[in-house]
């Protein structure tokens, strides 16, 4: 009954927000009619040829998908993409997965009956191969099952930006053999306009497939120039969705999340930020045995930045705690009422300092730092099964590094060294033995970038990265539920070492075909060889059947990625492409974690002085059919569309349509069919006040 009431509240919230927006737009029409003019920025956006946009300025002046930070990522000599809050809102779906998969090389696997997501970059997935952080705090939760063994729970309405780096990482951000995904949560600047003392924003979303919705609110208060605070909350409900042929897929879940953030700063360049976030989901999980599941995720970070006037001091330090607890109770099957739980607590921190100086006309930046985390994993099961295939244990991982960057005109050279180490402890309960593992590795990196012609940058790099075995990979044991077979621990696992060679080109053209148009392109090719790749190995040998994790001599992953954008102001387009191949050198077979090749194209247009933004995206995903792989998928083509209208500068309406052609398909590595046609309607309104007298007179605006 309470779920029905919740849905009614969400629908009412949308209606109230829409009614408020209607009254506001009537006021705006009256004001606009009396003034009889428009701002220069709006006029330029409507004209499509901004007369006051200087050459070389940010594409963000034309394309709201591309912020200055996102454009800087496209220009960097590495495979990096930044998604802003605006992009996340335009790409909205049932989860943040839709936005992440707009990035080349990224695949997000989901289980319909679990709101967690698992992020795959260039075929690398699970067990920290992709380092996922929220406000710098590692998200290391994993649970063994038939789907992805690692997942993260995200409320996309709390996210300000996502920084995605593809390929081995071994400096700032920690070491990862596949890449990093860094989520940053919203802060007071996302609510308050310049000069405002207080403000709030409310957003209500309803969806058609899996009828339900979300109600989100955020409020901020700038007490003075040195102190501001933010609080935000989301409540939502999603029902079971239907696939392309109308079959119901169990996917209902209830969401509650909250975020609090406090920032303090002074005139000496010091800024301290304290963030606390909790996210909770309730849902039914499982097929043959359905389990009522309660999941809670907590993240607390304390960070400090000292951006000194001294060019040798730009210091960042952070300490954090993140924890995920998942509790399950059997609702069906032979053991109704049986309980099991999975819990991970991660404690960590990082520090680094960047020094900038000039020598002989060369700009130099030296970054020195370190980071580490400690995982404490606890699993319990009344039946003694899940605590074997997701075993308890502890692992500590740490690293120190130095990176130096030299730039002068058309030339840029980056070199880095990082040492990583780890310690792992646990128990082999089958043999009653304590297991202890440790080790380390020194990883180099070198990148050379040249700009022979101003809009064209070429770069090439070699980098190594280190991944220690996880608690589960080392200590897995016990028995699989029927059909029963044993798991065996492997205390002799070696860490994975990635060796990545990459080359790319960045293009940045202005006034290419028309005055004021802009084109940005990032293309890259890569070849990543992973020594001692850890994979699941099972045998049906009558004498010793079962599964364990073992090192593969070498695994190779190679391919290319493309991300190209073109914008005239009135009309814009984007094309992305991903192609990846892989091979297990031990048995000369491909890896099952590598996605099929994919290409997508977006065409959009703006009108009404830039207030209306509409577009459509066509995505083709190839088939994956290799006899050596148990997981295959058919080719499919998806058509999505969006319409965004800014009623005022504070009120907006967004309509997103997913799988318009109602295709029946199952995304590669997913277990259940993907949703059929789905529509999402969002209405948001922001208000603020407390503007100082100086700002009210226009002195600072």
User: Do 220 and 185 form a contact (C-beta atoms < 8 A)?
Assistant: no
Tell me if 486 is assigned to some domain. Answer: yes
User: Using CA atoms, how far apart are residues 178 and 167, in angstroms rounded to an integer?
Assistant: 5
According to DSSP, residue 97 is labeled H
pLDDT band at 157 (very low <50, low <70, confident <90, very high): very high
pLDDT at residue 655 tops 70: yes
Residue 291: Cβ-neighbour burial (10 angstroms; 0-12, 13-18, 19+):
buried
Give me the numbers of helices (H) and strands (E) for the chain, helices first please. Answer: 8, 35
Confidence of residue 421 (pLDDT cuts 50, 70, 90): very high
**Any domain includes 331:** yes
Give percent above pLDDT 70 in the chain: 87
Rounded Cα distance between 332 and 428, Å, is 31
In this structure, are residues 40 and 52 in contact, taking their beta carbons and an 8 Å threshold?
A: yes
Q: Do the strands 241-242 and 339-359 form a parallel or antiparallel pair, or are they unpaired?
A: unpaired
Q: Coil, helix or strand for 200?
A: strand
pLDDT at 258 over 80: yes
Q: What's CA 599's distance to the chain center, in Å? A: 20
Q: How many CB atoms lie within 10 A of CB 284?
A: 18
Give CA angle at 532 (528, 535), nearest 5°: 95
Q: Which two tokens stand for residue 359?
A: 């020598």
**Is-contact 91 98, C-beta < 8 A?**
yes
* Total tally of structural domains belonging to the chain: 1
Share of the chain above pLDDT 90, in %: 66
SS (H, E, C) 450-464: EEEECCEEEEEEEEE
For residue 26, the surrounding DSSP H or E stretch is helix 2-35
Are 353 and 308 in contact by the 8 Å Cβ rule? The answer is no
Residue 37 lies in a domain: no
Q: Is the pLDDT of residue 20 over 60?
A: no
In order, the DSSP letters of 103-141 are: STTEEEEEETTEEEEEEEETTB-STTSEEEEETTEE---
Judge if the upstream peptide bond of residue 659 is cis by omega within 30 degrees of 0: no
**pLDDT score of 627:** 63
The answer to whether residue 43 scores a pLDDT higher than 90 is: no
Can you tell me whether residue 199 is helix, strand or coil? Answer: strand
Instruction: Give 583: exposed, middle or buried? Use CB within 10 Å, 0-12, 13-18, 19+.
Output: middle
Distances in Å between the Cα of 155 and the Cα atoms of 95, 148, 348 are 8, 19, 22
**Residue range 604-617: mean pLDDT, rounded:** 94
Most trustworthy range by pLDDT among 12-26, 48-62, 408-422 = 408-422
| CB-based contact 563:521 (threshold 8 Å) | yes
The tokens describing 366, both together, are 């030296």
Nearest to 231 by CA among 266, 186, 179, 180: 186
Output 283 or 49, whichever has higher pLDDT: 283
Q: Could you list the residue range(s) of the whole structural domain that residue 487 is in?
A: 68-288+300-361+369-695
In a domain, 6, yes or no: no
15 falls within a domain? no
Pairing of strands 130-134, 179-185: parallel
Beta carbons within 8 Å of 257's beta carbon, 6+ residues apart: 155, 158, 233, 234, 277, 278, 279, 280
Which H or E run contains 13? Answer: helix 2-35
How far does CA 122 lie from the centroid of its chain?
A: 14
Q: According to the model, what pLDDT value does residue 92 have?
A: 76
CA distance 103 to 82: 9
Please state the rounded mean pLDDT for residues 94-119.
Answer: 91
| Full DSSP string of 324-392 | EEEEEEE-SSTTTT-EEEEEEEEEEEEEEEEEEEEETTEEEEEEEEEEEEEEEEEEEETTSSHHHHS--
Q: Let me know: does 13 contact 205? Beta carbons within 8 Å.
A: no
Residue of 335, 314, 272 whose CA lies nearest to 481: 335
Q: Per-residue pLDDT for 497 more than 70?
A: yes
- Pick from 127-131, 261-265, 298-302, 537-541: least confident: 537-541
Q: Above 90 in pLDDT, residue 378? A: yes
Alpha carbon separation from 444 to 84, 399, 416, 656 (Å, rounded): 31, 13, 6, 44
The verdict on residue 546 lying in a domain is: yes
With beta carbons less than 8 A apart as the criterion, state whether 599 and 576 touch: yes
Q: Are 254 and 282 in contact (CB under 8 A)?
A: yes
> For 187-205, how does the pLDDT look when each residue is reduced to its tens digit (9 = 90+)?
999 999 988 999 999 999 9
Closest CA to 158 of 228, 80, 260, 67: 260
**Which pair of tokens denotes residue 577?**
């492409």
**pTM surpassing 0.85?**
yes
Residue 618 has pLDDT above 80, yes or no: yes
Cα–Cα distances (Å) from 302 to 20, 325, 333, 347, in that order, read 38, 22, 45, 12
Cα–Cα distance measured from residue 617 to residue 272, given in angstroms and rounded to the nearest whole number: 41
What is the b/e burial string over 56-89, where b = at least 16 CB atoms within 10 angstroms of the residue's CB? ebbbbbbbbbbbeebbebbbbbbbbbbbbbbbbb
Residue with tokens 């739980």: 341
- The answer as to whether 336 is a domain residue is yes
Task: Determine, yes or no, domain membership for 571.
Answer: yes
CA 82 and chain centroid, separation:
10
- Among residues 64, 47, 7, 40, the alpha carbon closest in space to that of 602 is found at 64
The Cα 14–Cα 392 span in angstroms is: 45
Lowest mean pLDDT among 56-70, 135-149, 510-524, 628-642: 56-70
CATH number at residue 453: 2.40.170.20
């Amino acid at each position: 009954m309470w779920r029905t009431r919740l849905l009614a509240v969400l629908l009412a919230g949308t209606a109230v927000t829409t009614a408020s927006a209607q009254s506001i737009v009537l006021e705006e029409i009256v004001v606009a009619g009396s003034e009889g003019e428009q701002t220069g920025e709006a006029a330029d956006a409507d004209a499509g040829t901004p007369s006051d946009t200087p050459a070389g300025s940010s594409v963000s002046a034309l394309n709201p998908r591309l912020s200055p930070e996102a454009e800087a990522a496209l220009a960097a000599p590495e495979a990096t993409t930044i998604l802003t809050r605006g992009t996340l809102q335009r790409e909205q779906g049932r989860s943040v997965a839709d936005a992440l998969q707009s990035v080349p090389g990224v695949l997000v696997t989901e289980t319909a009956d679990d709101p967690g997501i698992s992020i795959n970059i260039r075929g690398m997935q699970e067990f920290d191969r992709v380092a996922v952080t929220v406000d710098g705090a590692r998200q290391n939760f994993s649970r063994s099952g038939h789907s992805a063994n690692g997942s993260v729970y995200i409320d996309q309405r709390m996210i300000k930006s996502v920084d995605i780096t593809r390929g081995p990482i071994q400096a700032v951000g920690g070491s990862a053999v596949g890449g990093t995904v860094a989520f940053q949560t919203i802060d007071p600047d996302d609510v308050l306009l310049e000069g405002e003392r207080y403000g709030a924003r409310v957003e209500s979303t309803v969806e058609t497939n899996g009828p339900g919705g979300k109600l989100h609110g955020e409020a901020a208060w700038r007490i003075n120039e040195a102190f501001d605070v933010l609080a935000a909350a989301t409540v939502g409900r999603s029902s079971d969705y239907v696939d392309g042929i109308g079959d119901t897929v169990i996917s209902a879940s209830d969401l509650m999340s909250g975020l609090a953030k406090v920032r303090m700063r002074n005139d000496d360049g010091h800024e301290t930020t304290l963030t606390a976030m909790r996210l909770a989901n309730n849902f039914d999980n499982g097929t043959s045995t359905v389990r009522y599941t309660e999941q809670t995720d907590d993240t607390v970070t304390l960070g400090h930045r000292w951006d000194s006037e001294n060019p040798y001091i730009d210091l960042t330090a952070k300490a954090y705690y993140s924890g995920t607890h998942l509790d399950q109770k059997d609702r069906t099957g032979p053991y109704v009422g049986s309980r099991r739980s999975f819990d991970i607590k991660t404690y960590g921190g990082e520090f680094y300092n960047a020094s900038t100086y000039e020598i002989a006309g060369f700009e130099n930046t030296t970054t020195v730092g370190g980071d580490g985390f400690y995982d404490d994993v606890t699993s319990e099961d009344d039946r003694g099964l899940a605590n074997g295939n997701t075993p308890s244990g502890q692992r500590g991982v740490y690293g120190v590094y130095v990176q130096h960057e030299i730039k002068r005109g058309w030339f840029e050279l980056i070199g880095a060294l990082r040492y990583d180490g780890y310690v792992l402890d646990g128990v082999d309960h089958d043999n009653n033995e304590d297991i202890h593992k440790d080790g380390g590795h020194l990883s180099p990196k070198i990148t050379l970038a040249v700009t022979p012609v101003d809009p064209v940058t070429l770069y090439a790099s070699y980098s190594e990265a280190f991944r220690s075995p996880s608690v589960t990979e080392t200590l897995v044991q016990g028995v699989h539920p029927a059909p029963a077979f044993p798991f065996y621990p492997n205390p002799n696992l070696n860490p994975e070492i990635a060796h990545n060679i990459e080359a790319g080109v960045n293009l940045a053209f202005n006034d290419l075909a028309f005055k004021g148009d802009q084109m940005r392109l990032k293309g890259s090719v890569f070849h990543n060889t992973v020594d001692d790749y850890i994979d699941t190995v099972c045998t049906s040998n009558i004498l010793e059947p079962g599964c364990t994790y073992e090192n593969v001599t070498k695994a190779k992953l190679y391919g290319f990625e493309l991300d190209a954008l073109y914008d005239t102001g009135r009309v814009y387009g984007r094309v992305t492409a991903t192609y990846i191949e892989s091979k297990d050198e031990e048995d000369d077979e491909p890896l099952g974690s590598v996605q099929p090749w994919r290409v997508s194209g977006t065409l959009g247009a703006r009108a009404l002085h830039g207030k209306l933004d509409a577009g459509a995206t066509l995505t083709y995903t190839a088939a994956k059919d290799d006899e050596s792989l148990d997981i295959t998928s058919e080719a499919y083509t998806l058509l999505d569309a969006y319409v965004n209208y800014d009623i005022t500068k504070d009120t907006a309406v967004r309509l997103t349509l997913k799988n318009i052609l109602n295709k029946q398909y199952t995304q590669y590595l997913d277990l259940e069919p993907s949703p059929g046609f789905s529509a999402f309607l969002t209405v948001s309104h922001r208000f603020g006040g407390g503007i100082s007298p100086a700002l009210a007179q226009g002195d600072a605006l």
